[in-house]
């Protein structure tokens, strides 16, 4: 198996319905990735081990999705210098506003690139991650360009 470049992590298996869209997007663009459940609250040691070893294992970027009191992206970012993209998963109680604010309001010094709540954020995390990696990968850059062109070509002139 090829070396994964992107690590997709999420706080719970219940996040997969959202985070699978990040994985699908990376797959469509031919970006090798791995997918793990890593909870900031329920498996803190797993989070430490994952984030602390991510760079030496060859990952270039982490996409972290979580809902509610969503500490996962920020805690991961605190333990690695890799870029971390955060996806707020839509929670039942507060429709993801809790997740969004938990992820986006990082203190200065530890950035998390925060995307939209839910599926749009997961898709865009995959696209943004691919664009970041494409800076040093011309073949991937061409695939990202083609994805955009196909998306543009798929937009109808009229709704009927
Ligand atoms: C967070 O709590 C997870 O990221 C998930 O979005 C939320 C609820 O988790 P479950 O109770 O569904 O496992 O840690």
For residue 155, the model assigns a pLDDT of 97
Protein residue with least CA distance to atom 2, ligand 1: 67
CA distance 113 to 103: 9
Would you state the pLDDT for residue 36?
98
Mean pLDDT of 102-114: 98
User: What does the pLDDT average to over 142-156?
Assistant: 97
Q: Please give the average per-residue pLDDT across 78-83, as a whole number.
A: 98
Residue nearest to atom 14 of ligand 1 (CA): 11
At residue 145, the pLDDT reads 98
| 3-class secondary structure, 36 | strand
Check if 18 has its Cβ closer than 6 Å to any atom of ligand 1: no
ipTM of the complex: 0.96
Exposed/middle/buried for residue 42 (C-beta within 10 Å: 0-12, 13-18, 19+)? exposed
**Fold exhibited by the domain 6-153:** Rossmann fold (3.40.50)
**Burial grade of 51 (CB within 10 A; 0-12, 13-18, 19 or more):** buried
pLDDT of res. 157: 96
CA of 40 to the centre of ligand 1 (A): 10
Give the residue-averaged pLDDT of 101-127.
98
Domain chopping of the chain, boundaries = 6-153
9 lines ligand 1 (CB under 6 A): no
Q: Assess whether pLDDT exceeds 90 at residue 1.
A: no
Q: Whose CA is nearest to atom 3 of ligand 1?
A: 11
């Amino acid at each position: 198996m090829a070396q994964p470049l992107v690590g997709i992590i999420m706080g719970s298996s219940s996040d997969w319905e959202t985070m699978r869209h990040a994985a699908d997007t990376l797959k469509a663009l031919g970006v090798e990735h791995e997918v793990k459940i890593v909870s900031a609250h329920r498996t803190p040691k797993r989070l430490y081990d994952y984030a602390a070893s991510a760079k030496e294992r060859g990952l270039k970027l982490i996409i972290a999705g979580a809902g509610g009191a969503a500490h996962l992206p920020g805690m991961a970012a605190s333990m690695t210098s890799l870029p971390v993209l955060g996806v707020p998963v839509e929670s039942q109680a507060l429709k993801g506003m809790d997740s969004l604010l938990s992820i986006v309001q990082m203190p200065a010094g530890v950035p998390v690139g925060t995307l939209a709540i839910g599926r749009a954020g997961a898709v865009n995390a995959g696209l943004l991650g691919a664009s970041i990696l494409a800076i040093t990968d011309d073949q991937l850059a061409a695939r990202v360009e083609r994805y955009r062109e196909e998306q543009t070509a798929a937009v109808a002139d009229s709704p009927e």
